[in-house]
Chain A
Amino acid sequence: MAEAPITSPSAQPADELLDPDFMTRLERLEILSRKIHTSRQKGERKSKRKGESAEFADYRNYVVGDDIRHIDWNIYARLDRLFLKLFLEEEELNVSVMLDVSKSMDTGDPHKGLYAKRVAAAMAYIGLCNYDRVNLYAYNERVVGRRDGLRSRRVMSQAVRFLQEVPLGGKSHFSTAAKQFAMRHTQKGVVLVVSDLLDKGGFEQGLRYLLGRRMDVYVMQVLSPQEMEPELAGDLKLVDCEDADAAEITVSRPLLNRYRANLRAYCESIREYCTRRGIVYVMAPTNHPFESLVLSYLRQQGLVR
C-alpha cells in the first residue's frame, strides 16, 4: 500500500483512505494525552476526578449529601463509621484533528492532501476504537467543514466520507482557523494539526490559540518531496497556487542550496517553537511510508500507544 504511489486523490476508491488490514492494526492503538482531561461524558479514560469506575481510588468520610450508594457498608459494619468508597472516574478523551485543506495541500507526488486525510482518518479511527470523542475540522483560511462529536466505531464511515468529500482549495490561514476552532471547542483534549504549515500568515498565532485552551497539541507537517528537494531548472516564474503570488527565480545551485537551508531552518524553527511550548512536532514527508509513520513513528513521538 505504502509502496504504491498515489497520484490523484479522486482516483482513489473510497475505502482506500484506510485499508482494512491496516485498520485492524490501528485498532490496537490508542491516542495518548499527556494531560488528563475532563469531559462531561464518562469515557474510557482515567480522569483526575474521582468517579464511578471499577477502579478503586480512596476512601473518605461521609458528609451529608453524598450518594449513599457509594458508602462502604463493610467498613460501616466493622468500624461503625460511614466511609465513602471512592473510585476513579473514567472519562472520554476529546480527539480533534485540524486538517489543512487549502490549495497548497492539493500538490505533490505523493499527494499531500491525500496523505493528510489518511493521517486524519487513521487518527479518527484510533480515537473511535477507543471510545474517544473525535472531532474533525477542515480549514483553509477558516474552518470550512467539521464533523465533531463522533463516538464509537460505527460512525467511522461518516468520518471517512467527510474526509473524502471535503474539497481542497483556497488560501490557508491557520491562525484564523485555529481561533475559530478554539472559540468553538472549549473542552480540553488532544488536537492534531495536519498541515504543510506553508502559511504566509505564520503558524505561531494559531498554535497560541490552541495552547490557550490548554490543549494537548500535536503538529504534523506534511511536505511533498518536491518541496523538500525541488526538481526545477532554468529561469522560472514560480506562481503560488493559493494567492497567485509570483516569484522570479533563476535556478542555480546556490539558490537551491539556499532554499534547502531555508526549508530546514523553517522546519527547525517550528520544531523549536513547539518544543518550547510542549507541543509535539512531527515531520511527515509524503514519500515516507504512511503505515510506518502511524504504526511506529507516531508511537515514538508519543502520540499513540
Chain B
Amino acid sequence: MSLLSWPTALIAAALSVPLLLLLYFLKLRRQERQVSSTLLWKRAVHDLQVNAPFQKLRKNLLLFLQLLILAAVLFGLANPVANFMKKPERNIVLLLDRSGSMKTEEADGRTRLEYAKDAAEDFVSGLSGGSRVMVIGFADRASVVCSFTDDKRRLRRQIRGIEPTDGPSRIGEALQLAVAYSSNLVDIPGVATPEAAMQGSADIELFSDGRIADADEEYVTRGNLRFHRIGAAVDNVGIVAFDVRRDYERPGMLSVFTHIENFGPSPVTLDVSLLLDGQRLSGPGSVQEVKLGAARPAETEPDAIAAPDEPGVLPASRSVVFDLHHESGGLIEIRLHREDALAIDNAAIAPIDPPREVRVLVVSGHARVRDLLVRGLRSIGVDEPAQLDPQAYETATEEDLVVEGRSAYDLVILEDHDTDRLPPGSYLFFGGVPKIESVSVGEEISGQPLVLWQENHPLTRRVMFENVFVAKWSRLTLPERAVRLVEGEDSVVMAFITDPGHQYVVSAFDLIESDFLWEPAFVIFLQNMVMFCSGSGLTGASRLVSPGETLTLHVPPGAEEVRVVRPDSRWEEINVEGRHTVTYARTHDAGVYVARFDDPGETAEVFAANTLDATESRISPNERFTIGAEEVVSVEGEVKVNEPLWPYAAGLALMVLLVEWWVYNRRVMV
C-alpha cells in the first residue's frame, strides 16, 4: 500500500489548508471586560476546576476535537485501503450474455436475462463511487450498451434496456471490445483519466449461464475475468439440426431431417409434428412420437448421431425424418410438443421453393473434356447441361447468360478459360481463373502430390483426392478470404472464393493434365458442386440462417426499395436503388424474415432463422468453463468491492468539525 500519491496529497492539501484556517479562527481570542473585582470570579473558576470531575477534559474538549480532526485528515492522507481490497478504484466491463439460452424461463417465469440484468444492476449499485463501468451485451455479436461511465443511474437504465436475442453465445467479439475499450483508457493520453491509467486494464465481469460456444478459442489478454453464473433450470428438449431436401430423382418429394436432443436430467417422450405453411398435415407420419433418454454429462461432445449408446439405454438424442410430397413452395415447420424452459428451440422453420431443374453451363474448348463433363453431370441428374466453347461464351448475348440480374445458370463450369464475363452466380474454373481482383496465375508446378484437402467442406466432402493424380498446375495468387480446398506441398491446388453475389471454385490444374476426370471422385465432386451451388434452387438451404447471421439479397432489376418483415411483424425499408446486393443483419430473432422488393415482378425472398445450436439448448448453467488456458469458475456470494477509505476519514473530519462548532457555540452561548 503506497501511502501517499500525488492526487491524494493534493486532496489532503485542499482538505487541510481550509481546516487549518478554520482551526485558526476557532482559536480563542478572549474579550477584555472590566469588572469591579475578579475576587469571586477567580474563586468560581477555581471551584469549578476543582469540583467538576472532567473539568480538565471539558476545558480541552475543543483541543481534543481538533486533534480528532487532524487524526482523521492524517488517516485520509495515508490513503488507507481495507485489507481485502486490491485497488482503490476500478474500471469494470460488464458482459451480459443475451444469447438464446438466456431466454430460458426459470421456475418463477422470469427469464435468465432478467436475472442477469438484476445481478448486473446489483453489481453496479454495490460499486464504489469512483468505479467506471462499461456494459457490453453479446450473443453472436457484441455491442456496447453503455460506454465507460460512473453514472450509476445511466448504467442501470441501459442495463434495463438490454433486449434478448435468439443468437448463439460467442464471447470473442465481446472480449475484444472490452479489451479494446479498456486499452483505450490506458494507452491514449488525454482520453484516459490518470486514475484509469494507473489502474491498468479493466476487470471483466461476465453475467451468463456459462454456455459459450467459442470459450475455448478465446483468451483474456488483460484484466481479470469473473463469471457470475445465472440460472438454474435444466429441463429442455431442443431441435439441434434441421434440413429440408428435395429428392433428386423425384423433385416433388421433400425429406425433412431433424435431430432432437434431450438436455434434461430425465427421459422424455414427446410428439414431433410437421407443419406446412402453419397447418398440421393430415395423414399418418406427420406426427411422430419420440422417446429420448436422459442427457449425458455435459463433458461428452454432443456428437449424438455417431455416439454408440449402451444397449437398453435410450439415447438422449435422435434423428427424426419426415417425408412428404409437395410440389409447390411454402414454409416447412417442425414443432416439439412439450413445455420446457427454453421455447426458442422447440420449433424450426424452413422456406422451400417449388422444384425446378438445375441449369448448368459447360464452357470448354476441348470437345472430349466437354463430353465427359456433360456425361458426368447427366449421371448426377442434371438434364441437358448447356454447352458453349470459350469464344461463343464471350460473344453470347446478355439475354442468354443473364436472367433477372443473375446468371441464367445455377453453375457455370469453365475449362481452360480465363474470363471477366461473370454475372452474379456460381463458377467452377479448371485451368483458368476469374479475372477478378487479387486472383492471378504464377509459374507452373509439377511432380508434386496433392497433400492436403478439406474433408469437411461441403465441396470436397467424401471426394477421395488421394487417388487423384495431377501432373502439373499453376501457382495461384489468391485473396485472403479464399478457402483452400486442396493443397500441394507449398501451393494451393483448389480454392473457393466468395464475392458478393459470386461464388468461385478455382482449380489450378487443367483437366487434361490430370486423371481427375476419370476418377469416381470427380462425379462426387461434381455432385457436391451442383448441390452446393444450386442448393437454393432446390430447397432453399441457403435461406436457413442462424439468428444474427447477415442476409445477402440480390436486388432484382427495377427495384428501388426492399421491405423486410421481421418475425415479430415489424418491418424495415431499405433503399436499394442502383445496388446489386443488399445485406440485412438485424436477424437476432428466430423466425421467418420476408424481403419484398418493389420491382415490377414483386420479387419476394423468404429466410428462416433457427436456433439450431446444441450449446444454446443445453441450458443447464455451466459451473466452470475455460477461456483459453484459463479456467473460469462462477463467483458465489456477494461481490466484494475495492473501496478506498479516505472519503470516510474526510467525512469523519467534517463531522467532528461540525461537532466542534456545536460545542464551541454551546459554550459561548451559555
Contacts and interface: CB of A to CB of B under 8 A. Distances in A.
B47 A258 contact: yes
B1 interface: no
A250 interface: yes
B43 interface: yes
B40 A259 contact: yes
Quick one: which of A200, A238, A263 has the most chain B CB within 10 A? A238
Given A247-B41, A254-B48, A258-B48, A238 B33 contact: yes
Contacts of B30: 235-237, 248
Given A251-B670, A255-B48, A262 B34 contact: no
A148 B35 CA distance: 32
B49 to A, nearest CB: 10
A198 B36 contact: yes
A247 B670 contact: no
Interface stretch (A79-87, A104-112, A136-144): A104-112
Given A235-B28, A254-B48, A258-B44, A240 B670 contact: no
Interface in B646-670: 667-670
Contact of A252 (B36, B39, B667): B667
Contacts of B39: 198-200, 240
Contacts of A255: 44-45, 48
Interface string B31-75: 111111111111111011001100000010000000000000000
A249 interface: yes
Interface in B80-118: none
A57 interface: no
A264 to B, nearest CB: 10
Given A247-B41, A254-B52, A258-B47, A227 B36 contact: yes
A266 interface: yes
Interface in A216-255: 224, 226-227, 230, 232-242, 245-255
Contacts of B667: 235, 250, 252
Given A250-B667, A254-B48, A262 B33 contact: no
Given A252-B670, A254-B52, A234 B40 contact: no
Interface string A92-119: 0000000000001101100010000000
Interface string A265-298: 0100000000000000000000000000000000
A245 B33 CA distance: 12
Interface string B1-39: 000000000000000000000000000111111111111
Interface residues of A, number: 41
A237 B47 CA distance: 18
Interface in B456-483: none
Contacts of A234: 31, 668
Contact of B670 (A248, A256, A262, A263): A256
B44 A262 contact: yes
A237 B33 contact: yes
A73 B48 CA distance: 78
A163 to B, nearest CB: 20
Contacts of A232: 33
A232 B669 CA distance: 10
Contacts of B28: 235, 250
A238 B670 contact: no
A235 B44 contact: no
Contact of A247 (B29, B31, B38, B51): B38
A235 B668 contact: yes
Contacts of A254: 48, 52
Sorting the interface of chain B by its residue count into under 10, 10 to 19, 20 to 34 or 35 or more gives 20 to 34
Contacts of B670: 233, 251-253, 256
Interface in B552-568: none
A262 B668 CA distance: 22
A262 B47 contact: yes
Nearest to A256: B670
A245 B38 contact: yes
Given A237-B30, A249-B45, A263 B40 contact: yes
Contact of A112 (B29, B31, B36, B48): B36
A91 interface: no
A238 B45 CA distance: 12
Nearest to A237: B30
Given A245-B38, A247-B38, A237 B668 contact: no
B35 A259 contact: no
B436 to A, nearest CB: 96
Contacts of B35: 107, 226-227, 230, 238-241
Contact of A241 (B34, B41, B669): B34
Contacts of B38: 238-240, 245-247
A227 B659 CA distance: 33
B26 to A, nearest CB: 11
Nearest to A239: B34
Given A235-B28, A248-B30, A107 B36 contact: yes
A239 B33 CA distance: 6
A259 B39 CA distance: 10
A84 to B, nearest CB: 59
A196 interface: yes
B48 A108 contact: no
B668 A242 contact: no
A237 B31 CA distance: 6
Nearest to A254: B48
Nearest to B35: A238
Contacts of A252: 667, 670
Contacts of A253: 670
Nearest to B51: A258
A107 B45 CA distance: 22
B36 A224 contact: yes
Contacts of A112: 36
A247 B48 contact: no
A235 B48 contact: no
A164 B327 CA distance: 141
A212 B664 CA distance: 53
B53 to A, nearest CB: 12
B668 A249 contact: no
Contacts of B31: 234-237
B210 to A, nearest CB: 69
B33 A236 contact: yes
B544 to A, nearest CB: 90
B43 A262 contact: yes
A266 B37 contact: no
Contact of B37 (A237, A242, A248, A251): A242
A198 B41 CA distance: 11
A170 B31 CA distance: 24
Contacts of B40: 198, 227, 259, 262-263, 266
A93 to B, nearest CB: 33
A283 B670 CA distance: 29
B174 to A, nearest CB: 67
Contacts of B34: 107, 238-239, 241
A116 B663 CA distance: 42
Contacts of B52: 254
A253 B36 CA distance: 21
A236 B45 CA distance: 12
Contacts of A230: 35
Nearest to B664: A235
Nearest to B48: A258
Sort A-B residue pairs by CB-CB distance and give the 5 closest, nearest first.
A198-B37, A104-B36, A237-B30, A259-B44, A247-B38
Given A255-B48, A258-B44, 18 more contacts: A200-B37, A226-B35, A227-B36, A236-B32, A238-B38, A239-B33, A239-B34, A239-B35, A239-B38, A240-B36, A240-B39, A241-B34, A247-B45, A249-B45, A253-B670, A255-B45, A259-B40, A266-B40
21 contacts: A105-B36, A108-B36, A112-B36, A198-B39, A198-B40, A200-B37, A227-B35, A227-B40, A232-B33, A235-B668, A236-B33, A237-B31, A240-B35, A240-B36, A248-B45, A249-B45, A250-B667, A252-B670, A258-B48, A259-B44, A262-B44
